[in-house]
Amino acid sequence: MNPSAPTPSPSTPAQRPLVLGSTSRYRRELLQRLNLPFEVASPDVDETPLPGEAPIDLAQRLALAKAQAVARQFPQAVVIGSDQVADLAGEPLGKPGNHERAVTQLRRMRGQTVVFQTAVAVVCQDSGFAQTELAQVKVKFRDLSDAEIEHYLRTEQPYDCAGSAKSEGLGIALLSAIENDDPTALVGLPLIRTCSLLQAAGLRLL
Residues composing the chain: 206
Q: Which of 44, 83, 160, 182 is catalytic?
A: 83
Number of domains in the chain: 1
Q: Does residue 8 sit within a domain?
A: no
Q: Does residue 117 sit within a domain?
A: yes
- Taking the mean position of all CA atoms in its chain, how far away is CA 55? 14
Instruction: Give residue 1's pLDDT.
Output: 40
pLDDT digits (tens, 9 = 90+) for 12-44: 568 999 999 999 999 999 999 999 999 999 999
Average pLDDT, the chain: 93
Distance between CA atoms of residues 62 and 80, nearest Å: 12
- Taking the mean position of all CA atoms in its chain, how far away is CA 45? 15
pLDDT digits (tens, 9 = 90+) for 139-176: 999 999 999 999 999 999 999 998 899 999 999 999 99
CATH label of the domain that carries residue 37: 3.90.950.10
| Cβ atoms < 10 Å from Cβ of 172 | 11
Instruction: Give residue 85's pLDDT.
Output: 94
Q: Does residue 36 sit within a domain?
A: yes
Q: Does residue 10 sit within a domain?
A: no
Full domain range(s) for residue 56: 18-200
Instruction: Give residue 12's pLDDT.
Output: 53
Catalytic, 126? Answer no
Q: What pTM value is reported for the model?
A: 0.88
Indicate the SS3 state at residue 146.
Answer: helix
Q: Is 164 left (phi over 0), alpha (psi -120 to 50) or beta?
A: left
